[in-house]
Amino acid sequence: MPAIALITGGSRGIGAATALLAAQAGYVVAVNYATRSDAADALVQQIRAQGGTAIAVQADMAIESQVMAMFSAVDAQLGPLTALVNSAGVVDVACRVDAMDITRLKRMFDINVIGSMLCAREAVKRMSSVYGGAGGSIVNVSSAASRLGGAGQYVDYAASKGAIDTLTIGLAKEVAAEGIRVNAVRPGIIDTDIHASGGQPDRARLLAPTVPMQRPGSALEVAQTIVWLMSDQASYVTGALLDVAGGR
C-alpha cells in the first residue's frame, strides 16, 4: 500500500514544492488549498503527468468544519494517512505590535496555530497505535522568525511560529510511543510569494546580504528537508526543530 501524504497550503510555495517532491518519492498526495483551486488543480495535473497520484482538497485552516471535511475526503478518496505536512500559513504587512488590531491577530493565530493543531489532532487519530493506526509522520513548517522575533515587522507571525515549535516538541513526546514522529523545519529567507502577500515582494532579495550564505533559499531546498523528515531515513528523529536558513 502506498504512503499517503496530506500537504496543507499545498498549492503554492514550500507546500507546492513539498507536494511535488513527495509525489516523486512515491507518496500519494493530497494537495490542500484555501482559495486557489486553479493552482492546486494545476499542481495535481503536474503530479499526474509525471506518473504520480494526487487529489486537490479545499479547506480553510481557520474553519474547523472544513478541516474535518478535508480529512474525511482524504480518508474516502485515498485511504489511511501516513504523513501530514502543516505548511499552510499567513503573514501580514510589516507592523509594530502597538499598531496590531484584533482582526489581524485572530487571523494570524487561527490559521497558523489553531489550524495546525486541528490538523495534528486529526492526523493523530488516524496514525496513532492507540486508535489502531500504523504510525506516521507529522512535519510542521515553522520559521526562523520563531527565534529571531520579527521585531518591527511581524512579531505576531514570529509568535505564531514559536507556538508551532512548542507544539512540535510537546506532541512529539506525547505520541512517540504510538508510532508517530513529529518534527518541524524552520525556514529562513526563502524566495516564495509569501513575501508579496505581506506587501514586500522583494524581501528575499533585499535581505540576502544578511544571510551568512549570502542568498535566499528556495522552496525546493525546504521541501527536500521536509520529505526527508517524512521518510524512514529519519526513523529516529522526533521533536527536532531543523533550521533551513543558510546560517541565519
| Residue boundaries of the structural domains of the chain | 4-244
**Above 70 in pLDDT, residue 218?**
yes
- pTM recorded for the entire structure: 0.94
Q: What is the pLDDT of residue 194?
A: 62
Contact (Cβ atoms closer than 8 angstroms) between residue 10 and residue 61: no
Q: What is the mean pLDDT of the chain?
A: 95
Q: What is the pLDDT of residue 142?
A: 98
Position of cell 521518510?
A: 231
Nearest Cα to Cα of residue 14 among 245, 248, 247: 245
Residue 104 cell numbers, joined: 489581524
DSSP designation for 6 = E
Q: What is the pLDDT of residue 195?
A: 52
Q: pLDDT tens for residues 89-138?
A: 999 999 999 999 999 999 999 999 999 999 999 999 999 999 999 999 99
Q: Where are the alpha helices (DSSP H) in the chain?
A: 13-24, 37-49, 64-77, 102-109, 115-127, 145-148, 155-175, 194-197, 203-207, 219-230
Which of the listed CATH numbers 3.40.50.2300, 3.40.50.970, 3.40.50.720, 3.30.470.20 matches domain 4-244?
3.40.50.720
Q: pLDDT tens for residues 135-180?
A: 999 999 999 999 999 999 999 999 999 999 999 999 999 999 999 9
Residue 225: which residues within 8 A CB-CB, separation 6 or more? 185, 242, 244
Nearest Cα to Cα of residue 85 among 5, 171, 200: 5
**Above 60 in pLDDT, residue 198?**
no
Rounded Cα distance, 14 and 124, in Å: 23
SS (H, E, C) 105-116: HHHHHHHHHHHH
Contact (Cβ atoms closer than 8 angstroms) between residue 67 and residue 61: yes
Q: What is the pLDDT of residue 210?
A: 85
Q: How many CB atoms lie within 10 A of CB 195?
A: 21
Rounded Cα distance, 207 and 218, in Å: 14
Residue 113 cell numbers, joined: 496555530
For the ranges 42-56, 132-146, 187-201, which has the lowest average pLDDT?
187-201
Q: What is the pLDDT of residue 201?
A: 65
Q: pLDDT tens for residues 60-94?
A: 999 999 999 999 999 999 999 999 999 999 999 99
Residue 61 cell numbers, joined: 485552516
For the ranges 13-27, 116-130, 211-225, which has the lowest average pLDDT?
211-225
Hey, which residues are catalytic here?
157
Share of the chain above pLDDT 70, in %: 96
Rounded Cα distance, 193 and 14, in Å: 10
**Above 90 in pLDDT, residue 202?**
no
